[in-house]
Homo-oligomer: A and B are copies of this chain.
Amino acid sequence: MSYNTFGQMFRVTTWGESHGPAIGAVVDGCPPGVALSEADLQPWLDRRRPGQSKFTTQRQEADTVRILSGTYQGRSTGTPIQLLIENTDQRSKDYGDIAASFRPGHADITYHQKYGIRDPRGGGRSSARETAARVAAGGVARAVLAALVPDLKITGYMVQMGPHGIDRARFDADQIAQNPFWCPDAAAATRWALYLDQLRRDGNSVGAVVEVVAAGVPPGLGAPVYGKLDADLAAAMMSINAVKAVEIGAGMAAASLTGVDNADEIRMGPDGPQFLSNHAGGILGGISTGQDVVVRFAVKPTSSILTPRRTITTTGDEVELITRGRHDPCVGIRAVPVGEAMLACVLLDHLLRDRGQTGGERGVIG
């Protein structure tokens, strides 16, 4: 079962609620002997940390991660790694209303119906705060990948905010860290700032599309037919709060292509097969091709908004609800480092699974 665990050989189990004393993750199956300290993880958490611009929730969390187990003298021992992040800025009083009413578009009502009980403070387990634990676990995955596949590089960014997409011709990787949106198109970032500021002041929110790319992925990761790399990526991304769609490579656009156009033709390069395009997003038959692995996902707008929406209470009364509190007007922004973390975890998991089954050897070509 996998209620709160993902991965097979590199397994991550997260726990914790938004307003409990702490949240965290247990990482099991980590290869031994990898250099790993809290200093390796903290930078990733800092990127996801709230309160860094007016475009994310104003909740102030240090998000300091502690390693409670699984390392010795700065290296992983192969035993489970407990990552703990304390919650320090819980203003539970902000959430009085949500205990009694169900926010439209939020998990409030389904948790209530399934469990008959829920921790309403800050969304409890359904809070995006849970993703801090993912980012910490992703940091472990990155440290291991850095040791095993030094050339592998993961990059995430936003390609669309609301109806406003980037111009792919203006894609500049250096821009990504230069604006509060992880936007690779400087002009788009400027437009998004104005657009989002207005929405925020209107008590509204908006969706986004995030793209994460892994370069340097060795061929052969993934397995037919229910252990496909893309199937696991789809589950991993869809498990992120507010995600409603996942695309690999051409994604939904693949439906519009003909076979002639969609074929990623192949030539021999100096180091083996070379593909002339990448509609496949680096995955064929569920197995990596060696090209960039390209994943995209859509994040819906935050459901906690200041505009009144019709809903019901736990006692069945019909009300109009305004959700106060400190919410992200575009939760897609902070989903960027989360998507990167999930990609890192899934790739490492498949790397370990592959070398378990095949020993890591590759069928030769040429």
Contact = CB atoms under 8 A, between A and B. Distances in A.
Interface residues of A, number: 163
A311 B124 contact: no
Interface string A218-237: 01111111111011111111
B363 A299 contact: no
Nearest to A102: B266
B70 A206 contact: no
Contacts of A53: none
A69 B312 contact: no
Interface in A7-41: 8-9, 11, 13-17, 20-24, 26, 28-33
Contacts of A325: none
A72 B122 CA distance: 13
Interface stretch (A149-157, A172-180, A186-194, A252-260): A252-260
A360 B117 CA distance: 14
Given A199-B258, A259-B304, 12 more contacts: A9-B9, A77-B124, A102-B266, A105-B264, A114-B223, A163-B256, A245-B245, A251-B298, A255-B300, A259-B307, A268-B316, A314-B365
A31 B358 contact: yes
A255 B234 CA distance: 17
Contact of A353 (B1, B126, B161): B1
Interface in A230-288: 230-239, 241, 244-268, 273, 276, 279-281, 283-288
B356 A130 contact: no
Nearest to A365: B316
A29 B247 contact: no
